[in-house]
Structure 1
Amino acid sequence: MDTRIANGTSEMDELHRVGAGALLEDGFDSVEEIEGPDGMEVKVLDTFVGVYPGGALLKVFVDAPALEFAEEAVRELVEELLDRTELLADWTVERCQVELQPDLAKESLDAADGPDAPPDDVESRRARLMGLAGGAASAQETGTTIDSDAIRSKIRSMAPRLAAFGSGMFGGPGPGPEGPPESDDSGTTTEGDAELAAGALIWGMDVLLDELFQDAYALDRDGTNVAECDRPMWLLDELPPRYALQYDARFARRFLVTAIALTTRLTEGSFQQLSCVAEELTLRLLLREAAATLDTFGLLDEGVSSALGCFADLVYEDMDHEWLYDEAMDGMDESDTDTAIGITPMGPMGIATWFTPFDKDRYIHPYAADEPDGSEGSEGPEGEGTD
Structure 2
Amino acid sequence: MASAGATTAFEATVTALAGRQGRTIALLVLDGVGGYRTAHRASELAMARTPNLDELAATSALGLHDPVRRGITPGSGAGHLGLFGYDPLRYRVGRGTFTAAGLGVELAEGDVVARANICTLSEDGTIADRRAGRMSTEEAIEVCDLVNEQSFGDVQVRLVVEMGHRALLLLRGAGLSPDIADTDPQRTDVPPLAPAPLSEAGVLAAETVGTVLARCRNVLAHRKSGNFLLLRGFDTRRELPPFPERYQVRAAALATYPMYRGITRLLGFETHHVRNLETAVQALPELVRDGVEFVYVHVETPDLAGEDGDFEAKKTAIEAVDALVPAIRASGVEVLAVTGDHATPAHLSAHSWHPVPVLVHGGTAPADGIAAFDEVSCRQGSLGRFPAYELMPQLLAAAGRLAKFDGQRHGS
Tell me which interval the TM-score lies in, with the shorter structure as reference length. under 0.3
**TM-score in terms of structure 1 length:** 0.26
Q: Higher RCO, 1 or 2 (CA under 8 Å, sep at least 6)?
A: 2
**TM-score in terms of structure 2 length:** 0.25
> Which is strand-richer, 1 or 2?
2
